[in-house]
Amino acid sequence: MNITLTGATGFVGSALLPALNQYHQTRAITRAEFGDFIPTTDYSAALTHADVIIHLAARAHVLKEQSADPLATFRETNTAATLNLAQQAATAGVRRFIYLSSIKVNGEHTQPGQPFTADDQDYIPTDPYGISKQEAEQALRSLATGTGMEVVIIRPPLVYGSGVKGNFLSMMHWLHKGIPLPLGRIHNARSLIALPNLIDLITTCIDHPAAANQTFLVSDGEDLSTTELLQRLSQALGKPARLLPVPQSLLETSLKLIGKGDIAQRLCGNLQVDISHTRNTLGWTPPISVEAALRQTAQAYLQSLKHA
């Protein structure tokens, strides 16, 4: 199978590429060869013999946004440039287009015991990233209908694993340094996805006949509270969890008062996904447990400290 991969140097792509190379002929679309991922780039050289495209490249979350119009900037990369690639792929006769979207298409939080499902139609993306991903999904589905190219959409929640960045890396820093955290009484439930589990699902979707034109939600199949996550991550790091038993309501109120409502939502809110459609349609089960995935993530982090 000839695979064309975008985003090969990113967090997910750098783990996916060697997995693909074990079984497929893989061509990575790189910035060095094609320039920035924009709506006018000509990708014909990378699509000539491609059977499947796995599209990971995207404009991700920006901590310090510099754009005067963030939504327009996200749309240019995540929507318009994606559609440009997909249209060229369809013209070139590519059979299947696998698109890594985001659970943010569904929304930022769920009610207790009411996880997002693959059948949800009331999408509530709340930031430019989520909006641009939703619009890309809509454009890809329309293209699939008009051309016959199969589209597979995967919506992961937070992805963690070896080399993880962002908030997950910050949590490991705090835990490793033994910094007391006021997160000992959080009773939420959040779905996560370990990088090896996500890689396994993506590779499953390459040639599974039932994956065609489907949308798959994905997680580790075990939801954790923020407190449980920190406790188990501390154990994986070999450090005591210094979690102060601050009442969740007090923590949420305090964060909102200082203008950190978004942080309160991520730390205290629920975000659960139901992966039964993914399991049933593909016969797929996450191959690695949360415990093993956290251990791998912690070991990679500790190893990185030795070489810092």
For residue 174, being part of any structural domain is answered with: no
272, 223 contact by CB (below 8 A): yes
Tell me, yes or no, whether 259 lies in a domain. no
Instruction: Report yes or no on 230 lying in a domain.
Output: no
Percent of the chain predicted with pLDDT > 70? 98
**β-strands 215-217, 2-6 pairing:** unpaired
Q: Tell me whether residue 141 is in a domain.
A: yes
Residue 58 in domain: yes
Given pLDDT bands bounded at 50, 70 and 90, which one contains residue 308?
low
Residues classed as catalytic: 129
Residues spanned by the domain of 95 = 2-155
* Type of residue at 241: A
pLDDT of residue 126: 87
Q: Give the pLDDT of residue 60.
A: 86
Residue 183 has pLDDT above 70, yes or no: yes
Q: Which two tokens stand for residue 226?
A: 């923020």
Q: Is 188 within a domain?
A: no
Mean pLDDT of 74-92: 97
One-letter identity of residue 110? T
> Is residue 79 one of the residues assigned to a domain?
yes
How many domains does the chain divide into? 1
Least confident span in 65-69, 101-105, 128-132: 65-69
Q: Is it the case that residue 77 has pLDDT exceeding 70?
A: yes
Q: Say if 8 falls within a structural domain.
A: yes
CATH number, position 96: 3.40.50.720
Percent of the chain at pLDDT exceeding 90: 87
Q: How confident is the model at residue 64 (pLDDT cuts 50, 70, 90)?
A: low
Confidence category of residue 71, pLDDT binned at 50, 70, 90: very high
Give the per-residue pLDDT at 65.
63
3-state secondary structure of 107: coil
Of 200, 193, 190, 83, give the one whose Cα is nearest residue 147.
83
pLDDT, average across residues 272-292: 98
Side chain identity, residue 151 = V
Average pLDDT over the chain, rounded to an integer = 94
Rounded mean pLDDT, 197-222: 98
- Residue 67, pLDDT > 80, answer no
